[in-house]
Amino acid sequence: MKNNQSPQRLSIITTISLLLVNIVIYTIFSLLYDQMHIWTYILGFLTSFIFSYFIIYQTLETFIYKKIKLIYKTIHRLKRGRKSSDKSFDLQTDLDLLENVNKEFIDWANSQKNEIKQMKELEQYRRNFVGNVSHELKTPIFNIQGYIHTLLDGGIHDDNINVKYLEKTSKSVDRMINMVEDLETISALESGIIEMNFTKFNIIDLTQEVIEFLEVKAQNKNINLFASIDESKTAVFVFADKVRIRQIIINLIDNAIKYTSDTNSPYIKVSFYDMDENILIEVSDNGLGISMENIPHLFDRFYRVDSARSRAQGGTGLGLSIVKHIIEAHKQTINVRSNLGVGTTFSFTLKKS
């Protein structure tokens, strides 16, 4: 038997229970006083049964079940976003009402709990984002303010500092511009405003172009920058946005240059692996490495493993976040693995043409 019953079943069960008590009372009185006639006994039994049933049924249906059904319908509509005028949902009284109400309420409560949790996480993310932007902009703004005040206080007439301070002001302005442009890029990627221009191109040729572009920067730190290419495969064609993929490779190699020491034969290697429908591209180095607690946050906005070095070299802290958004816009994935003192490898996939 079900734990929760309809009004009819509950009425019958309750009525029978009450009548059993009446039977016991009638029986006791008939034995004590011997005044009960059998037909009077039967008539009283039937009358009590019918009267009790309808009283109990009307009480359950009117004062309990109708109100529970109203609550059930309200929760059901709220879960599905229905308007209060929606007449399409009709609950039958022979359903296991109480069990359904309990299940609907638990599901609705869980969904509300998850929404509240997501809203709290978004609110925390918003506060962190506003705080990070304020912090990142504050440094160049204060620098610019200091340089300008120094020039206004007479430094503009000092040939030893006027040009120097103007150059520093220009660098701070450039840093702010880069930050704003990166934020605009992330916002556009998230909202879908920037559409990917998918074309067929040779990813190896593109990688070689990037290596030539960053070769001097790598040589200044005695880093061996090269692509590991199978001689039998000098061309690997992919279907992607060439401009955005170039941006990804530049960012990953440039980061590797920043965090690779100029000792112990440093190198940065770009490798390619056939993954059936996709191509796996890896950018590896034998640099400082990244600790495990930092890895989950690498693609967060403004997150820096080494804040001082990144800021000193003009980094905005948004590069890897942009990389992730571009990869996701290609419906592909990017991963990172690293060990302190051993090196780091970033790997991402692209669809083969």
pLDDT number for residue 314: 54
How much of the chain exceeds pLDDT 90, in percent? Answer: 20
pLDDT at 88: 47
Q: What was the pLDDT predicted at 93?
A: 44
Cross-strand bridge partners of residue 350: 279
Please, are residues 24 and 58 in contact by the beta-carbon 8 Å criterion? Answer: no
Spatial separation of the C-alpha atoms in residues 53 and 39, rounded to whole Å: 21
Question: Residue 52: what pLDDT?
Answer: 66
- In this prediction, residue 249 carries a pLDDT of 94
Of the two residues 219 and 30, the one the predictor is more confident about is 219
Domains 124-191 and 198-351 share a fold: no
Strand partners, 335: 347
Beta bridge partners of 180: none
120 or 40: which carries more pLDDT confidence?
120
Provide mean pLDDT across the span 163-192: 82
Q: What's the half-sphere exposure (Cβ side, CA atoms, 13 Å) at 239?
A: 6
pLDDT of residue 262: 67
Q: What is the 3-state composition of the chain as percent helix, strand, coil, each rounded to the nearest 5?
A: 60, 15, 25
Contacts of 206 (CB under 8 A, 6+ apart): 242, 245, 246, 249
CB 284 within 8 A of CB 257: no
The residue with greater pLDDT, 271 or 308, is 271
pLDDT digits (tens, 9 = 90+) for 251-273: 999 988 888 876 678 899 999 99
The CATH number of 124-191, from 3.40.50.1460, 2.60.40.10, 3.10.450.50, 1.10.287.130, is 1.10.287.130
Question: How high does pLDDT run on average in the chain?
Answer: 77
pTM over 0.75: no
Measuring CA to CA, which residue among 166, 178, 222 is closest to residue 311?
178
Q: In whole angstroms, give the CA distance from residue 37 to residue 34.
A: 8
Question: Which of these ranges, 9-13, 154-158, 280-284, has the smallest mean pLDDT?
Answer: 9-13
**Does the pLDDT of residue 2 top 60, yes or no?**
no
- Sheet strands (E) in the chain: 198-202, 224-228, 237-241, 267-275, 278-285, 334-339, 343-351
Per-residue pLDDT band for 21 (boundaries 50, 70, 90) equals low
At 270, the amino acid letter reads V
Q: What mean pLDDT do residues 191-199 have?
A: 81
Q: What is the pLDDT of residue 112?
A: 77
For residue 64, with 0-12 CB atoms within 10 Å meaning exposed, 13-18 middle and 19 or more buried, which class applies?
A: middle
Task: For residue range 88-110, list pLDDT tens digits in order.
Answer: 445 444 445 556 666 767 777 77
Predicted pLDDT of residue 91: 47
Whether residue 129 contacts residue 179, with contact meaning beta carbons closer than 8 Å, is answered with no
CA–CA distance from 215 to each of 250, 255, 338 (Å)?
A: 11, 14, 24
pLDDT band at 209 (very low <50, low <70, confident <90, very high): very high
Least confident of 34-38, 166-170, 283-287: 34-38
pLDDT category of residue 44 using cuts at 50, 70 and 90: low
Report the b/e string of 19-40 with b at 16+ CB within 10 A: beeeeeebeeeeeeeeeeeeee
The pLDDT of residue 298 is 84
Q: Which residue has the higher pLDDT, 318 or 336?
A: 336
Q: Which residue has the higher pLDDT, 97 or 116?
A: 116
Instruction: Work out the average pLDDT over 20-32.
Output: 63
Of residues 129 and 333, more confidence is placed in 333
Alpha-carbon separation of residue 23 from 26, 40, 84, 149 (angstroms): 5, 13, 49, 103
pLDDT-derived band of residue 84, with 50, 70 and 90 as boundaries? very low
Architecture of domain 198-351: 2-Layer Sandwich (3.30)
Q: Which residues have CB under 8 Å from 328's CB, separation 6+?
A: none
Domain residue extents for the chain: 7-95, 124-191, 198-351
In the chain, % of residues over pLDDT 70: 63
Give yes or no for a contact between 204 and 229, defined as CB atoms under 8 angstroms apart.
Answer: yes
Q: Is the dihedral of CA 124, 126, 129, 133 positive or negative?
A: negative
